[in-house]
Structure 1
Amino acid sequence: MSAADRTVPVTILTGFLGAGKTTLLNRLLKHPDLTDTAVIINEFGEIGIDHLLVERSGDGIIELSDGCLCCTVRGELVDTLADLMDRLQTGRIRALKRVVIETTGLADPAPVLQAVIGNPVIAHSFRLDGVITLVDAVNGLSTLAGHPESIKQAAVADRLVLTKSTLADAGAITSLKRALAELNPRAAIIDGDDPAAIGPALLACGLYDPGSKIADVGRWLSDEAHDDAHHHHSHDHDHDHAHGKDAHFHQHAHDVTRHSASIRSYAIVHDRPIDPMALDMFIDLLRSAHGDKLLRMKAIVALSDNPERPLVLHGVQAVFHPPERLAAWPDPSDRRTRMVLITKDLPEEFVRDLFDAFVGKPRIDRPDRAALEDNPLAVPGMRL
């Protein structure tokens, strides 16, 4: 039995203060397909308020109070998931199709993700399915420019939901979408005011299709072949002469780009199966020496000991979910190793060179690449 069959998917619902998380949650919970969903609502402060706004009661609502998930109640979140697991296994509650964790608007999402994937006991019954981040279309640019936690919330998202779009200026929405795409080019940007977009499918971010249990690597890795260089250098080329209100939006977008310049999203693709020991050493070194800079990593890997059964990896900073082998490649015609990484203050070239070193891939020094394009027969700077 695969992990998808025996574990309950967990969705992290995050976003800065006032982005509309509880409103979205209310809309989702009205859908009949989400009947068997447990909701963990995080509260900040001594008295819970948000849980009163969620139109549901009973065992499905679990409130965490006295702090945010990223600090004082991290242990309580693990305890809550462990209690859910115990109640499921003992039959005290009916089977769950999904767990949704709504974080406080001030939460750093990384420790929340770690609580789900970093505990082996919890990982036996629950799997991180995805991160959905809400962004206020009216105040989104100024929030991203002024609050680092909101940048991290957007950077690690699988899907970005724009809320309050009907209240926002068209110029603000355009600038916000551009800033979000610069920050997280692989996350789908969804209109939260579109009723057709807000349903159970919104929560299905993970590797497995919830209906068919079929692995969909392309969806999970969200366009792993995305051309980052084009994305990061073509941005805002036609806005040099912004003025008036447009200049205001442009300045906020510039501030977001400036504050988030240290965050990068990129993919590593490798054509040949990898020695399991080489992969272990690469991951161990990356997370032990640079774990605080590794915001998120998702990967499907071809290993040389059994290339017919790919390995799935999912990590947040230094914490990784227990790896699992798929029964077969989702697409037999594409058996490449694909890794998507989101890093902060960790140069892309450093990670690529580290990977190349462990897999024994020849490397051409970047200063020589232009010369090589002019003379394909010359291979200067080639080294292991």
Structure 2
Amino acid sequence: MHETARRPPAPFPLTVLTGFLGAGKTTLLNRLLREPALADTLVLINEFGEIGLDHLLVEKIDGDMVVMTSGCLCCTIRGDLTATLEDLLRRRDNGRIAPFTRVVIETTGLADPAPVLHTLMYHPYLTLRFRLDGVVTLVDALNGDAILDRHAEAIKQVAVADRLVITKTDLLDASGGATRLRARLSALNPTALQFDAARGEAVAEKLLNIGLYDPDRKIPDVRRWLNAEALVDQHGHAHHGQESHAHDSHAQDSHTHDINRHDAKIRAFALRHSEPMPVSAFEMFLELLRTAHGAHLLRVKGIVALADDPARPLVIHGVQHMFHPPARLETWPDDDRTTRIVFILYDMDPAFIEALWKGFAGLSAPDRAASDENQSPPAGD
């Protein structure tokens, strides 16, 4: 057999679909599975009984898998996600199941999505076969505020998202509840684009192919992936004034005041610097941050200029203490050759990271774009 024939295919894009109980994941997934973009997709769910796929079911392969009219495969997660994914890859490579080209994992409503992301970042074989395309989080407009108040998992689901889908807005009255919720979600995660399911915005075109690589041009699209400009916008006049109004209009409501104090534990900011970082200094910076303060790093994404080869930037992506193996790009994807790292933090002051960066780089403190709406105490490490 020719050598190239034995090579595994390019990594499959993998989307994590999450959201708290009752957010509408089942409804959205059913709708997405009817779109041509999800043909030849492998869907992983916890139990078939939790999702109404009977109208799509064509054939049951075994106790864990069904084939749907759309061409998708649907499989239950049997305990360990790593074992499930490895088994499915073996079946695909051996021709025992259809050759899926995309994977969607639906988490349980109570799940912290971080362990799923850790699985994809840590396992050496899975990092070769899958690439994280994005995290899509659903938020129920009717109950979203109350859920975010009471459940830390819901806060984390929002904080790690690349896309936020707001559901059930058509069931709200005209009191502005959806506007307040959107402002709150923007404060928690300014870089995640928001879509309204009731308006038909939650379609495959908006929710898929949102990772680092543009699937059409086959090149990195760092600006879209980081969306660091959203942090600048939130700090600037366009968004700052709107969000200030949303918070101030409820300043007399003690319940809302408590919400804002709770949300203040989440901070989003972008670290930017124009000078290349010495390789050893950057490795020490990242290692110290990861090992000593990983619990505070809900999500980290960035492109870094390194002094050993400034023409070939390094791409990093982490969730808490777990980081995907850094990748060197062959060239900068655009004219912006500055280091840009987006952080979503829990109970940690961005000033601590800036000071740490300054200490290792031996440079002046980098410029930072951050949301001033939230205030949090320094890290307690």
Q: How much has 1:42 moved relative to structure 2? A: 2.4
Q: Measured at CA, do residues 239 and 159 of structure 1 come closer, stay the same or move farther in structure 2, by a change above 3 Å?
A: closer
Residues 1:320 and 2:323 are matched in the alignment = yes
Contact map agreement 1:299 1:339 (CA 8 A) in 2:
yes
Q: Which amino acid aligns with 2:243?
A: H
Q: Measured at CA, do residues 95 and 336 of structure 1 come closer, stay the same or move farther in structure 2, by a change above 3 Å?
A: farther
Q: How much has 1:88 moved relative to structure 2? A: 3.3
Residues 1:108 and 2:120 are matched in the alignment = no
**Structure 1 residues 143-158: aligned runs within 5 Å:** 143-158=147-162
Q: How much has 1:224 moved relative to structure 2? A: 4.2
Contact map agreement 1:141 1:252 (CA 8 A) in 2:
no
The match for 1:259 is: 262
Q: How much has 1:349 moved relative to structure 2? A: 0.2
Superposed CA deviations along residues 30-87 of structure 1, whole A, max 9, x for unmatched, are 01121111111124xxxx512444735337111126xxxxxxx4xx101111122223
Superposed CA deviations along residues 154-194 of structure 1, whole A, max 9, x for unmatched, are 11111110111110133110110111111111111111123
Q: Which amino acid aligns with 2:50?
A: D
CA distance in 1, matches of 2:180, 2:102: 34
The correspondence for 1:37, drawn from 35, 38, 41, is 41
Q: Measured at CA, do residues 254 and 112 of structure 1 come closer, stay the same or move farther in structure 2, by a change above 3 Å?
A: farther
SS at match of 1:182: helix
Q: Which amino acid aligns with 1:62?
A: C
Q: Measured at CA, do residues 363 and 196 of structure 1 come closer, stay the same or move farther in structure 2, by a change above 3 Å?
A: closer
Superposed CA deviations along residues 247-292 of structure 1, whole A, max 9, x for unmatched, are 8xx6665443222211111111111222221111111000100111
**Structure 1 residues 296-311: aligned runs within 5 Å:** 296-311=299-314
The match for 2:63 is: none
CA distance in 2, matches of 1:187, 1:214: 21
Q: Which amino acid aligns with 1:49?
A: G
CA distance in 2, matches of 1:18, 1:225: 29
Residues 1:269 and 2:236 are matched in the alignment = no
Moved more, 279-288 or 79-88: 79-88
The match for 2:364 is: 362
CA distance in 1, matches of 2:308, 2:279: 7
Superposed CA deviations along residues 351-375 of structure 1, whole A, max 9, x for unmatched, are 11111111111249x9xxxxxxxxx
CA distance in 2, matches of 1:241, 1:212: 45
The match for 1:62 is: 75
The match for 2:133 is: 129
The sequence identity of aligned pairs, in percent, is: 51
Q: How much has 1:218 moved relative to structure 2? A: 1.1
Q: Measured at CA, do residues 81 and 238 of structure 1 come closer, stay the same or move farther in structure 2, by a change above 3 Å?
A: closer
**Structure 1 residues 138-217: aligned runs within 5 Å:** 138-170=142-174, 171-217=176-222
CA distance in 2, matches of 1:241, 1:283: 40
* Number of equivalent positions: 343
The match for 2:379 is: none
Contact map agreement 2:231 2:268 (CA 8 A) in 1:
no
The match for 1:346 is: 348
TM-score by length of 1: 0.82
Superposed CA deviations along residues 125-180 of structure 1, whole A, max 9, x for unmatched, are 11112111000111111111121111111111111101111101331101101111
Q: How much has 1:205 moved relative to structure 2? A: 1.9
CA distance in 2, matches of 1:204, 1:252: 39
Q: Measured at CA, do residues 269 and 95 of structure 1 come closer, stay the same or move farther in structure 2, by a change above 3 Å?
A: farther
The match for 1:280 is: 283
Q: Which amino acid aligns with 1:131?
A: V
SS at match of 2:211: coil
Superposed CA deviations along residues 85-140 of structure 1, whole A, max 9, x for unmatched, are 22333343344331111001100111111111111111011111211100011111
The correspondence for 2:333, drawn from 330, 338, 344, is 330
CA distance in 2, matches of 1:116, 1:256: 33
Q: How much has 1:324 moved relative to structure 2? A: 1.2
Contact map agreement 1:225 1:267 (CA 8 A) in 2:
no
Q: Measured at CA, do residues 253 and 92 of structure 1 come closer, stay the same or move farther in structure 2, by a change above 3 Å?
A: farther
Superposed CA deviations along residues 8-30 of structure 1, whole A, max 9, x for unmatched, are 11111000000000110111110
The match for 1:376 is: none
The correspondence for 1:81, drawn from 79, 85, 99, is 85
Contact map agreement 2:136 2:163 (CA 8 A) in 1:
yes
